[in-house]
Structure 1
Amino acid sequence: MDAKDMYEDTPHGVIADKKMNLEWLPKDSWGDLGKWLTWDDANYYIQTMRNVYAGGHADWRLPTKEEALSLFNEELSQKDWQGEEVHIHSAFVPKCGTMIWTSEVNDAGQAVAVNLKDGTAEFADKMNRDHYTTRLVRNPNSRGK
């Protein structure tokens, strides 16, 4: 599948990920709130988006490491919040954050964050908020409408 055809903006305001069979919100938390988030803040953000029924659904969650890494594609390019290049599909709202929190955590109080500039993933302190954001995802076949 061509990188440009992997994502589709849907009529109900979510991005369909044809490769991973997922749905993403088009804005990350930075674009939505205008502030950086700790990992705990990202989890509160999920609750807010569930309560407002974003995109007509209440089952939003943090992406796994694999799901977040799937957003990165070196063939694709748009600008992040600083006007620097990130490798994410143009269906997503531009001026996004670079570092995305995921659901994967370890016993040392760290969570995996994915970098959309270079496609790397690393553990970061969950209390870090400097330039950290999240993108919410859902499984379209789940029952959490």
Structure 2
Amino acid sequence: MWKKTDSFQDTKKWINWLKCRDHVQKVNAEKFAGYGNWRLPNQAEAWSLFDLTQKNRDKYGDDLYLHPVFEPGSAGVTWTSDTRDSAALIIQYEDGGQIWPSQYANLNMAVRLVRDLLKN
């Protein structure tokens, strides 16, 4: 289950990878949508949202290949839980690219949270 808004839409602030943990804790403490198990997506989960047949708009009005079920006005990227050394993976929904910036990098980045559906 995906959160329809990303961290930029929620806070109007950009975050680095380390600040993503704070965002996850805040969303879980608030029990957003009644759940407390929100987390960063892994690489495969983040890529599953990229779809060349779907269009959405980022905060600048530029095209994103992201299903319109998600709120328009997002950052157009998401941090993932995938790390190597001091870098973390970002998936780009504008062009299907990916980059590995420093976890400390203060870039115009955000995270879109996901949660596991629990079986009854």
Q: Is TM-score (shorter-chain normalized) higher than 0.5?
A: yes
Correspondence 1:123 to 2:106: no
* Higher relative contact order (CA closer than 8 Å, sequence separation 6+): 2
Q: Which amino acid in 1 is paired with 2:87?
A: Q
- 1:63-142 pair list within 5 angstroms: 63-107=41-85, 109-141=86-118
Specify every segment of 5 or more residues in structure 1 that has no aligned partner in the other structure, as ranges: 1-22
Q: How many percent identity over aligned positions?
A: 28
Specify every segment of 5 or more residues in structure 2 that has no aligned partner in the other structure, as ranges: none
Residue 99 (structure 1) shift:
2.0
Correspondence 1:41 to 2:55: no
Q: Check whether the contact 1:40–1:127 (CA below 8 A) recurs between aligned residues.
A: yes
Q: Check whether the contact 1:69–1:121 (CA below 8 A) recurs between aligned residues.
A: no
CA–CA distance in structure 2, aligned partners of residues 46 and 77 of structure 1: 27
Q: Which structure has more strand as a fraction of its residues?
A: 1
How many residue pairs get matched? 120
- Give the TM-score taking structure 2 as reference length: 0.95
CA–CA distance in structure 1, aligned partners of residues 67 and 28 of structure 2: 24
